[in-house]
Copies of this chain bind each other. A is one copy, B any other.
Amino acid sequence: MSRRDMGRAAAIRPLRDVPGWDDEADVVVVGLGAAGACGALAARSVDADVLALERASGGGGTSAMSTGQIYLGGGTPIQEKCGFEDSPEEMYKYLMASCGPGEDEPKIRLFCDDCVEHFHWLVAQGVPFKETFYGDGSYTPTDDCLSYSGSELAWPYRDIAMPAPRGHTVQQESIEAGGMLMRRLLEAVERSGTRIQVDTLCETLVVDEERRVVGVVAKVEGVVRHYRARGGVVLAAGGFINNREMVDRYAPLLRKCKMRLACDGDDGRGIRMGMGAGAEAMRMETASIVLPFTVPKGLIRGVMVNRQGQRFINEDAYQTVVGEAALHAQGGQVYLILDDAIFERPFPPTEIAAVGETFEELERELGAPEGSLQQTLELYNRHAERGEDPVFHKDSPYVVPLVTPPFAALDYTTDTAIWAVFTMGGLRTTTEGEALTPDGEVITGLYAAGRTTSGLAAQGYSSGLSLADGTFFGRRAGRAAAARARDQERGR
């Protein structure tokens, strides 16, 4: 296969070309990250025979590398314990406002309504959450749980929906929370009686003459194997940020971003397998684009400017929302202006693009158009003296005048800073995880979940939404595939 072919759908294997089945199950799960694990658990919970195929030598996928934060709300026990009021309705309002236009309303509706139940289910699988509030951001260095992980407190969302922290980080010190999440889910999968087969690279789907998906073709130690799925195949094989051809084809701007939040498996294979069987891929241009400038949090008091020396967003919008705006509308050419009073070294680190004793000097050193940055900062300061930001509506705690020289511009251009991205586009699915053709027909026997699918959000990513998507809709996909297996058995 040429590199060029890697950007394309994977041609199906017709059933008539399958020499025989090497194994079979009610439900075959492709990929054992969060979505696949929850799919397997849900299918096993109704006694389906489940075979989970994982390309790596163990499960976990990108979920295990994540910060272990899951976007949950609507009034979870932890939200209540920590004294935050939330409801499915407020959560719905926030997601509808922040994830669109183009948001998946039926998925958002269902997810908000059933979110508290989903929290309890995760706990029942052994996923630990501490009943504590941490603060905000996508990353909790302690073992605390709750954070504002989106733009809930930022304009305009704070006026649209009652803000509540919804990022639920799994209990574990430091960056290992994603690892803990997957350790516990995989232990549950093992306990459940799911048959797990690792080092198995699924390559394409087996399709019968009625265009139903009836199995998968995989390679195990170089040998081609065929696995029959009596009820269905659940594609849960991650996104495509590590497939250069697909990124060029569908989301070329992402090429500018240095860091791919992904394991090797995020090479788009699951999406390509689905497309090969006739499933529609949608929103393939969308991504979570993290511009990580908000640690330490005091940096939000800085002023983010583009290369014209202008502000373009409220700096307290969530880092993914800032990242999206900065990449799409500003070409990834942005800087964060600080004065000496609020200066702190950012984490992750980036370079200092310019310093100056005056705004004029800073502007000159930065190469911004003469007068542009000066006036931006003067106007900002003028309003900031009253704690106000009538231009972009940054919340007053973050609005302080920058008056203490020297002034510095942190370099957040894509050339220098670490922008962290993963893809959000993928197969179009129903709320039950059924894959759909472009004409809206369900592809019998094909289910998908997690970043192999397009999920709740079309844009405006809040941290934790992918693990939420994957775990919540992964369960539904596994359950639906199991139900179909049962129906098949009963001869329906």
Give A contacts to B, CB under 8 Å: 4-5, 7-11, 100-102, 252-253, 272, 275-276, 278, 281, 285, 308-311, 325, 328-329, 369-372, 375, 378-379, 382-383, 390-392, 437-441
Contact = CB atoms under 8 A, between A and B. Distances in A.
B372 A9 contact: no
A439 B375 contact: no
A5, A100, A325, A372 — most chain B CB neighbours (10 Å): A372
Contacts of A441: 11
Contacts of A100: 252
Contact of A372 (B101, B252, B391): B391
Nearest to A428: B249
A8 B375 contact: no
Q: What 4 A-B pairs are tightest by C-beta distance, nearest first?
A: A9-B439, A329-B329, A101-B252, A9-B438
A460 B285 CA distance: 17
Interface of A is mostly: loop
A144 to B, nearest CB: 37
Given A328-B328, A372-B391, A439 B11 contact: yes
Contacts of A375: 375, 378-379
A90 to B, nearest CB: 24
A391 B379 contact: no
Contact of A276 (B370, B372, B438): B438
Nearest to A329: B329
Contacts of A383: 369-371
Contacts of A440: 4-5, 7-9
Nearest to A278: B278
A253, A278, A439 — most chain B CB neighbours (10 Å): A439
A255 to B, nearest CB: 8
A422 B400 CA distance: 45
7 contacts: A278-B278, A328-B329, A369-B383, A369-B390, A370-B383, A371-B383, A372-B391
A473 B10 CA distance: 28
A441 B351 CA distance: 46
Contact of A379 (B10, B278, B372): B372
Contacts of A391: 308-309, 369, 372
A376 B9 CA distance: 49
Nearest to A256: B101
B371 A439 contact: no
Contacts of A7: 440
A382 B371 contact: yes
Contact of A438 (B101, B252, B281, B439): B281
A307 to B, nearest CB: 10
